[in-house]
Chains A and B, each alone.
Chain A
Amino acid sequence: MNSARDLILDDPGWLIAVKGLLVFVFCVLCTLMAIWFERRIVARMQLRLGPNRVGKFGLLQSLADGVKLALKEDLIPAAADKLVFIIAPIISATTCFMAFAVIPMSGPVKMFGQETAFQLTDIPVGVLYILSVASVGVYGIVLAGWSSGSTYPLLGGLRSSAQVISYEIAMGLSLVAVFLYAGSMSTIDIVDAQDQFWYAIVLFPSFIIYAISMVGETNRAPFDLAEAEGELVGGFHTEYSSLKFALFFLAEYVNIVGVSALATTLFLGGYHAPPGLGFTESWLGGWFTFIWFFIKVVLFFFVFVWLRGTLPRLRYDQFMQFGWKVLIPANVAWIMVVAVLRYFTLNGASRTSILIFGGAILVIFLMGSSLYERSKAKKGEVTASAVDAPAPYPVPELPMKISTFTVPRAERERE
């Protein structure tokens, strides 16, 4: 039996309430800091200074922004469906906090004289619960877009929800390998199963896919198509103002911290220290584990910011194709490989034979991908010449005429 789990389940009622508040405060503080952190880092990347006026290093900038938003007029468009319009941000803001209930943020610690761990609860289907809460969060987006009674938010909301559900599949599939190795969906078990190797190393492809899909899942750059300013203004929250807008903003950042925390839990050993530094885990009466957890989350968040500072936004069709045509099949193939490997390991196959098998899979994969690239390059030529096709709407003159024209395969198929 797991000691951390016993400790959590033995919590008295008041401690649960206190821990709930702590988690909430942690999320809100994280959001305030994250916005500041992001603006400063992006500014550095763009050779600017970023906010540095409010408070030391501009630390209170986000708080000031929040107060400013609170003093703004709370508009509800005349064409909006009022009730849904008000409920949508509440759904978004509520669900984003709920995901944190099962994240283990520290090992066994003492809290107000009570032996416990900084984790609200542990349920056998913990990760599934996080996914389900995240799915409910999509309602906030789609309802906000729909209820605004305006074109841009509607399209933004639709785009955004299509994107989130598409990447949720890739995300959900990448977790299968983790469950397969950990033999459990409980977050505590998964963290404990990584005491020797982090799954980020053992299940590297899963980790990569998760990392990509978590960016898509949270609608962040370079996947922030739902808020493409040039096309859709602000996306689903165009019509929102005042604190309702702030709630969406908050939800977005809490979600980012949430997926980062989940990534830490599933792939980076959670609150455990990196290999070799295990002795640090008992420092500060066990609270040092929380620091390790926090460092890992910040690391992920930094990557989020880095991506935003570096990459241009994707085109929507390319983005959806990447999710559906690359991530999902690759993920499923990987799951099959993992399952076979795991089966052989369990049945005492020798390490060399597993290595040979793994190597063979790798070679097949590389060959397949290079063949795919080649065929895509060929198809690319065809499509490049297809721009010449008469479009049903007026298009500007191309600088160069290409005489050959072939119908691309997909189009021919659909006729």
Chain B
Amino acid sequence: MNPYVPILVIGAIGFGFAIISVVAGYLTGPRRYNRAKAEAYECGIEPTPPAAGGGRFPIKYFLTAMLFIIFDIEIVFLYPWAVSFDQLGLFGIVEMFLFILTVFVAYTYVWRRGGLEWD
């Protein structure tokens, strides 16, 4: 049988369970409307109105996401290299070291420019 079918099976089981839970929570719980309950929870004080335009958050998260993509792609290249390392021989080592080196040049640049600092 196709080895990916069981993944669908467990996915379906998990998904079904999650759906049932969500529906069950809706059915079994009480529903007593109260305006304060529907407000954003801010430890009891008046909630701050949501900022115009959806609100902004620090650019740091965006930077982290970009760095993540760079390194994740690096990892994606490293995996097949690692798996077929034995066949690639010296060529594999040299090329992969060059690749890692190049990525780490960018890494040091980001580091020096303060891209890895949180403040």
Whether A and B touch directly in their complex, counting CB atoms under 8 A apart, is answered as yes
Task: Enumerate chain A interface residues (CB-CB to B < 8 A).
Answer: 8-11, 13, 16-17, 19-21, 23-24, 69-79, 86, 89-90, 93-98, 100-102, 120-123, 128-129, 148-152, 154-155, 158, 161-162, 165-166, 168-169, 172-173, 175-177, 179-180, 183-185, 233, 238-239, 242-244, 246-247, 316-317, 320-321, 324-325, 328-329, 332, 335-336, 339-340, 342-343, 346, 410-411, 413-414
Residue B102 lies at the interface, judged by CB distance under 8 Å to chain A: no
Output the least CB separation between B13 and chain A (Å): 5
Min CB gap B18→A, angstroms: 4
User: B1, A11: Cβ atoms under 8 Å?
Assistant: yes
Contact yes or no, A75 B18, CB < 8 A = no
Q: What would 17 more interface pairs be, CB under 8 Å, given A94-B15, A175-B79?
A: A10-B1, A24-B13, A70-B29, A79-B39, A90-B15, A95-B14, A120-B9, A121-B3, A128-B79, A172-B75, A183-B83, A243-B28, A339-B97, A340-B93, A343-B90, A410-B114, A411-B114
Q: Are A154 and B55 in contact (CB under 8 A)?
A: yes
* Chain B residues with CB under 8 A of A154: 55, 57
CA distance in complex: A328, B30 (Å): 49
Taking A244-B22, A321-B116 as contacts, is the C-beta distance between A93 and B14 under 8 angstroms? yes
Please indicate the chain B residues that have their CB under 8 angstroms from the CB of A150 in the complex.
Answer: 40-42, 47
Question: When the two chains form their complex, are residues A180 and B29 in contact, meaning their CB atoms are under 8 A apart?
Answer: no
A101-B1 Cα distance, complex, nearest whole Å: 15
Residues of B15-35 contacting chain A, CB below 8 A? 15, 17-19, 21-22, 24-26, 28-32
* Residue count of chain B within 8 Å CB distance of chain A: 69
Docked-complex contact A243 and B21, CB < 8 angstroms: yes
With beta carbons under 8 angstroms apart, the residue of B11, B43, B64 that contacts A166 is: B64
Determine whether the beta carbon of B75 is less than 8 Å from that of A342: no
Distance A177 CA – B75 CA, assembled complex (angstroms) = 12
Given contacts A93-B17, A246-B21, contact A13 B1 (CB under 8 A): yes
* Majority secondary structure, B binding face: helix
Nearest chain A CB to B60 CB, angstrom units: 8
| Known A16-B1, A123-B3, A180-B82; contact A173-B10, beta-carbon cutoff 8 A | no
Q: Considering the complex, which residues of chain B in the window 51-67 have a beta carbon less than 8 Å from any beta carbon of chain A?
A: 55, 57, 60-61, 64-65, 67
B residues in contact with A96, CB < 8 Å: 14
Contact B64 A149 (CB under 8 A): no
Partner of A98, one of B14, B25, B55, B104: B14
B46 close to chain A: CB less than 8 A: no
B54 to chain A, nearest CB (A): 9
For the complex formed, measure the closest distance between the CB of A93 and the CB atoms of chain B, giving whole angstroms.
Answer: 4
Q: How far is the CA of A69 from the CA of B50 in the complex (A)?
A: 29
